[in-house]
Chains A and B, each alone.
Chain A
Amino acid sequence: MAISRRTLLNTAGATALTAGFPFVHARAADGPIKVGFIEDNSGVLDIYGKPIVMANALAIDEINAAGGLLGRKLELKQYDSQSDIALYTKYAQQLVREDKVDVAHAGITSASREAIRQTFRRANVLYFYNILYEGGVCDRNCFVTGTTPAQAVEPIIDYAMKKWGNKTYVLAADYNYGQITAKWIAHYVEQRKGTVQKTDFFPLDVSDFASTIAKIQDAAPNFICAALVGGAHISFFRQWAASGMNKKIPLTSTTFGVGNEHLALSAAEGDGILIAGNYSPELDTPANKNFLAAWAKRYGDHKVVHELAVSQYQGIMLWAEAVRKAGTIEREALIKTLETGLKIEGPAGTVAVDPKTHHTSLDIHLMVVKDQKLTIIDTAKQRPPADTAQYCDLLKNPDDNKQYEVKI
């Protein structure tokens, strides 16, 4: 074969490229352990992101004050993704390539998680997603400390259908969280011989719900199920209350309260909304009291603490416990340690890793909004992530890497 100048240049160039950028994990063996975070600290999602960022600093400082991990201090590497998905991919690259973090806790919306999950997987950086979501992620590199529909949606549907009746109207955010959660809602409603009259999806920037409110009244459901997300969607709860319908048709939500929506609305606007979740600031346990006291000591008061901030705190503490047990920050050893069913006691109760799904069993509280507080009316201890467990077994299929959805 004759070698032209062009092929020679191509080959030489390609060789130089491969030789120049081998993907080596040259992380420092001593010096601080780097913990990476990407959170929406501004933009429409900052009602969720701001307290999470505060929880990050609190958790890292608590661990450092107790001497760090394995005799090394923790160093916080944090980026504000500004409610912009494009920034997530950019900062995820930055965390794994530039900062070379040892673990990442990142993402709020499911869209953001899916934008960065593969980056961490490819770079072999252990990834924690600490947010309630639609379930189904099956990825050995990814651990989830938030609730899934089987944990937090099913109890709402169960209670609402027993109390109010069979017909429901679903409002959901128009991206993967809302779409998949709406399917789970329909699944649980139909399992109990009920009907979903209609499901409406709304992009995150929709803030005029007048036509929807009229349509709901036309359908006359027994109760409404809202999986709405972000600052703009708060307008629905406000306009619903402004129309006076909040006294007539009961409202349930899979997301209300996790962004402290009950504080953004007045007591008259929020009273009576039914939710289920892992955390209420009203929880009367020593762990929660200590957590709130530490938060108030650092930030003045603990008004802004919400479930996502607590999930995040618990996610960091779970990882820290795994590091202590494993005696290393090496990824494979940590996954094996977490897969033993590792447990911690967090502000929201026991967090226990489910080895098959890499999700967690959590205490779930059924709550009602009253006077801008989340009042607990019932508690189920240690609910497993049964939805994801239907499809996902990472002990058998460690190479699985997809998000399963419920089939209806």
Chain B
Amino acid sequence: MDYAAIVVLEILYMIAFLALISAGLAIVFGMMRVINLAHGEFVMLGGYATIASAKAGINIYFAMLVISPIVVGVIGLIVERLIVRFLYGRMIDVMLATWGLSLLLIGLVTLIFGNTAVSVPAPIPGYQIGHYQMGGYNLFVIAVAVVLMSAMWFALRYTRIGLVARGAMQGREIISALGYNPSTIYMLTFTVGAALSGLAGGVMAPLTGLLPSVGGAYIAKAFITVITGGAAVIAGTLSTAALFGTVDQLVSFASTPVVGEIAMLGLALILLRLMPQGITGQFFRNST
């Protein structure tokens, strides 16, 4: 029984992890149809921002929840103004440009921090369920994901900004029809997407060691989550995160983490074959 509780908590953790690392990508892809191949590097930069701040003596929660999103958000803003805004509507070109950007960011971080694994200890002690003990930091990750997803849903559903954002998903003309400048809205969307990626990187930093090349590990998972999710930002991300997280962890418990990842990727292949428009292209069609 205790073992089942542990498995359930680990599944929840994996769902939270996938939702966190995909949120920024989902917004940018869902609203702007921009495939940002530097997404993994945004997450990585968030991690480095947190670790560098924590090592400089700043409170680690402040570092991961405030500093990382701001730092990466500003980087996102610069990237949008200098590169991405010239390439809207040109999917292949924007992929190439952001791929080049990801290589550049890996190179820059390697120059600054060195190609060495860095990490900080998790700030939360372990907890006990029956005679099992698990890392307590996982619970914090779950909490952050729940708060973030709720906030995003509330903002999209009930605020003026959300209305404009949902309009943006329909196309440029709708933004203009609502009386806004599409270029400004796109700039803000990209910045928010980058900030969310930074937040994810900051929150994940204490769990694993960071290397400049760590973005590659995130981007594959984020992309299959977002693409399999389909057009709806929240419903899509959450439904695929739930599905993939459950499969990954159940298979991991039954065999090894490696087989768990293979199972997750295999499932993504099958789903995309059956539902090329993603899960929300088939179900939950009117959700956000």
Contacts and interface: CB of A to CB of B under 8 A. Distances in A.
A202 to B, nearest CB: 7
A207 B204 CA distance: 11
Contact of B134 (A82, A214, A218, A264): A214
Contact of A208 (B6, B124, B136, B207): B207
A217 interface: yes
Interface in B113-158: 114-117, 119, 121-122, 124-126, 128, 131-138
Interface stretch (A110-118, A146-154, A231-239): A231-239
B257 A245 contact: no
Contacts of B121: 238, 242, 266, 269
A54 to B, nearest CB: 14
Nearest to A235: B208
B135 A210 contact: yes
B253 interface: yes
A251 to B, nearest CB: 14
A242 B257 contact: no
A212 interface: yes
Contacts of A387: none
Given A207-B209, A245-B126, A47 B13 contact: no
Contacts of B208: 207-208, 232, 235
A248 B119 contact: no
B115 A46 contact: yes
B119 A217 contact: no
Contact of A42 (B114, B126, B253): B114
Question: Interface size bucket, B side?
Answer: 35 or more
B256 A200 contact: yes
B211 interface: yes
A282 to B, nearest CB: 25
Interface in A160-193: 174
A31 interface: no
A214 B256 CA distance: 12
Interface in A43-78: 43-44, 46-47
A238 B122 contact: yes
B253 A211 contact: yes
A242 B13 contact: no
A203 B257 CA distance: 10
A218 B260 CA distance: 19
Interface in B1-19: 3, 6-7, 10, 13
B136 A242 contact: yes
Nearest to A41: B115
A243 B136 CA distance: 7
Contacts of B131: 217
B258 interface: yes
A243 B211 contact: no
Given A235-B207, A238-B121, A243 B134 contact: yes
Contacts of A266: 121
A43 B249 CA distance: 28
Interface string A125-154: 000000000000000000000000000000
Nearest to B261: A206
B252 interface: yes
B138 A210 contact: yes
B87 interface: no
A213 interface: yes
B10 A244 contact: no
Q: Max chain A CB contacts within 10 Å: which of B115, B122, B131?
A: B115
Contact of A218 (B3, B115, B209, B258): B3
A213 B257 contact: no
A270 to B, nearest CB: 11
A215 interface: yes
B256 A231 contact: no
A205 interface: yes
Nearest to B136: A242
Contacts of A217: 131-133
Given A205-B217, A214-B134, A269-B121, A244 B128 contact: yes
Given A244-B128, A244-B133, A214 B253 contact: yes
B6 A214 contact: yes
A213 B211 contact: no
A404 interface: no
A211 B131 CA distance: 15
Nearest to B134: A243
A248 B133 contact: yes
Nearest to A242: B135
Nearest to B130: A217
A210 B10 CA distance: 7
Interface string A92-136: 000000000000000000000000000000000000000000000
18 contacts: A82-B115, A207-B207, A210-B10, A210-B13, A211-B10, A214-B3, A214-B7, A214-B10, A231-B116, A232-B208, A239-B135, A242-B121, A242-B122, A243-B133, A243-B135, A244-B125, A244-B126, A245-B126
Interface of A: 42-44, 46-47, 82, 174, 200-203, 205-215, 217-218, 231-232, 234-235, 238-239, 242-245, 248, 264, 266, 269
Given A214-B3, A243-B134, 18 more contacts: A47-B116, A174-B258, A201-B256, A202-B258, A208-B257, A211-B249, A217-B133, A232-B209, A235-B119, A235-B208, A235-B209, A238-B121, A239-B207, A242-B125, A242-B126, A242-B135, A244-B125, A245-B126
Q: Which 3 A-B pairs have the closest CB atoms?
A: A231-B117, A244-B126, A42-B115
